[in-house]
Chains A and B, each alone.
Chain A
């Protein structure tokens, strides 16, 4: 029943939604091509030579496909049904590819003629065009058919359950996008829709608006400068995501990342501005200060939990507010009165804006381009020092197995230094830097983030201390019985978690993540909260966190574009992140055997039993497995 309903929805989407947008203006207005002809509510007009007469026939082909799959679902024999669904899915993929080719071919033909007439590339008649909702729906539908086919075969459910670490976040992401679409639907009129539009036109333009919104959100994935900008925005998220995940692994929920980030920023500013000392020492010292500031702020709730048993959730929240007050106290003014006595502070830089003095040049983290020896756009020489150091260090670590972790780390460090020295001697590689890439301010804090990912990974899964920490997270009582000092471990876990959050400040203050090399009021401490979403979606694993942070970086970059073009607030991205947290907490609204390891194991066992048993279950409707013994809470 559910599947037939899905098919009905698919047919409606294929018929009603625009398939392609032939011409798109900057504000989002466009000429839409759908099943029932061209829709041009804003009278933008397209060249007559554009061949789009094939679109109605094309969409009817899709409707036929959907009808075919509805019939296929009625086939009683499972093997045959699976084979039909597979064939239809592959046919769908081919049809999708064909449509894509024809569409780009038609656009290319018109533009090619214009180019031949000598029109500049920037003034082509059809510059901005894209697939639209029905196209995306058709691709998703074809993939769904393939997945359904797999599910019909024995062990299909187990196949899906085994991949639950991917399935649950993806489902949550999909649901968040759906709710986000609903929000956009309610808050915004359709693109170029005026009150006197027919209901059909109104609906179509609205659907187009929603499609375009998400197209913009994910658009950074399609070009290099967008990807680098996404990495830039992902850097602090990697830190805060790791911080939250580290706490989760120890069974502690650290909501204090905003405060820890703020304290890290204050500490690193103090060292970066006021500690003189030799140039080579100040940068490491500033980075350490960021970690120490965060560790201090995270350690306090850890200590309170260990000593008094107060819940870390409430304490970390309170400390966020306290950190915000201290932050403002330091940089918003220099003159204060305590009980009538004037007190003068030296931290605020002169001027109307609340900000600190600039970080001294030695303490600044260079941008990645500078690390590669390049200066801005144009011709330059690529230095091999840092790339070689990185390759040598990581290579030695990965290749030299079978020795203790300490020896491996020392060896890879040595190899890194050797690589750096060797790379410094080698002659540079002449390269041309395009202006788009030179504008990206991705800085060395990104490398520190990757290093932190590696260190956390090794610590949690390759050391005894990390094992104890995870044991405490799974069952504090069992860990205590096995000899883990819970109090000490909790303080340590919260301090390390805080240090990771504090390191995010290196990106903002030392790496000019907030446009200037100083502490400013615009320090986005809320990024600490986003870390919760990153950790949850990344399933608390370092690799997952890195990927999720990148995804969120893409969304944030796309959010800027969204604000610029459609005037939709960037808060939409924050809303999506919060929804992802909510849906992941609810297991992606999937059945419980996706979230409960015991029930997942049961599904696996049932599948194996079905595979080995000689009785072929033909014609029997899919039956529920005998319910697993439910764990009593």
Chain B
């Protein structure tokens, strides 16, 4: 039994990217005090918007010249994916911040929507409820990697700088830790929270677009398959800190890559391998969190703010 370990490294980077993007997004939201269990749904809506937009844009061009590659189309698709994520995150923000709903319930509702609404959309566009038409214009590859891979890893230091070295980051953390105090010094709590949740929607939407027009070339029903929840766990395990998140998502990405490698071998049945990342998540969360006690969520996490 020999696993080509060198081949695992690029595979790990590729599997880490959606997790890293989503987890960083979730970090902004939770640092501002809004639990974002809707990451899974955000990812799915982003993936759907990206795939459908790309396919609809290229359809008239493909009708004239089959298999035509147009450079700008996937970028518009990517933008659409990001906007799809922002739109659905806005719903979450509105319900949680303005109507002060239970944030976990709201997130769960959005995840439920993400299981059913894509089917309705797919049916109206393509006449089936499970997948979209394949797109020809996928995101380009730079040196074998999607641009989003570079973006995700570049966002780690950027996020660190934003969060800990800028006034905006200071305010964001204050809003999540002690909103009353932040309010007293003139920080607009609600605006900060709306912004942070929608930023998480932007990053989650990008991750979704990466899945549908970067990793694959179509939208498949429920294609995120729990990646949103894994990023949530990775964010908690990474202690709501960009560097911690980088470490934890790399761990989960490596598990994912390993699982894909193992699919081919006869080490374990593939159906059981699919459960590996989830088992690992549970082990990591319960086993290690209990020892790392200083991993403390933002104090105002999950609490609606009213003056």
Contacts and interface: CB of A to CB of B under 8 A. Distances in A.
A332 B290 CA distance: 37
Is the contact region of chain A dominated by helix, strand, or loop, or is it mixed? helix
The residue in B95, B267, B286 that gathers the most chain A C-beta atoms within 10 A of its C-beta is B286
A337 B108 CA distance: 37
A324 B106 CA distance: 25
Interface in B270-307: 271-272, 274-275, 278-279, 281-282, 285-287, 289-290, 303-307
Interface string A18-39: 0000000000000000000000
A339 B290 CA distance: 33
Interface residues of B, number: 53
A188 B180 CA distance: 48
Given A339-B267, A577-B112, A581-B105, A317 B289 contact: no
A569 B112 contact: no
B236 interface: yes
A578 B286 contact: no
A442 interface: no
Contacts of B236: 314
B267 A529 contact: no
B271 A325 contact: yes
A326 B95 contact: no
B279 A578 contact: no
A529 B105 CA distance: 12
B73 interface: no
B266 A581 contact: no
Contact of B113 (A319, A340, A578): A578
Contacts of B112: 529, 532-533, 574, 577-578, 581
A332 B272 CA distance: 12
Contact of B282 (A315, A324, A584): A315
Contacts of A337: 266, 269
Given A321-B278, A633-B304, A586 B101 contact: yes
Interface string B230-246: 00110010000000000
A483 B287 CA distance: 28
User: Among B99, B109, B121, B123, which residue has the most Cβ atoms of chain A within 10 A?
Assistant: B109
B52 interface: no
Interface string B61-102: 000000000000000000000000000000100010001111
A585 B113 contact: no
A569 B106 contact: no
Contacts of B106: 582, 585-586
Nearest to B103: A585
A589 interface: yes
B166 interface: no
Given A314-B285, A575-B117, A575-B120, A586 B95 contact: yes
Given A585-B101, A592-B100, A630-B307, 12 more contacts: A304-B282, A308-B289, A310-B282, A310-B286, A310-B290, A314-B232, A314-B236, A325-B275, A340-B266, A526-B115, A575-B117, A587-B99
| Closest CB pairs A-B (n = 3) | A325-B275, A578-B112, A574-B116
Interface of A: 183, 187-188, 253, 255, 304, 307-310, 313-315, 317-319, 321-322, 324-326, 328-329, 332-333, 336-340, 526, 529, 532-533, 536, 568-569, 571-572, 574-575, 577-579, 581-582, 584-587, 589, 592, 630, 632-633
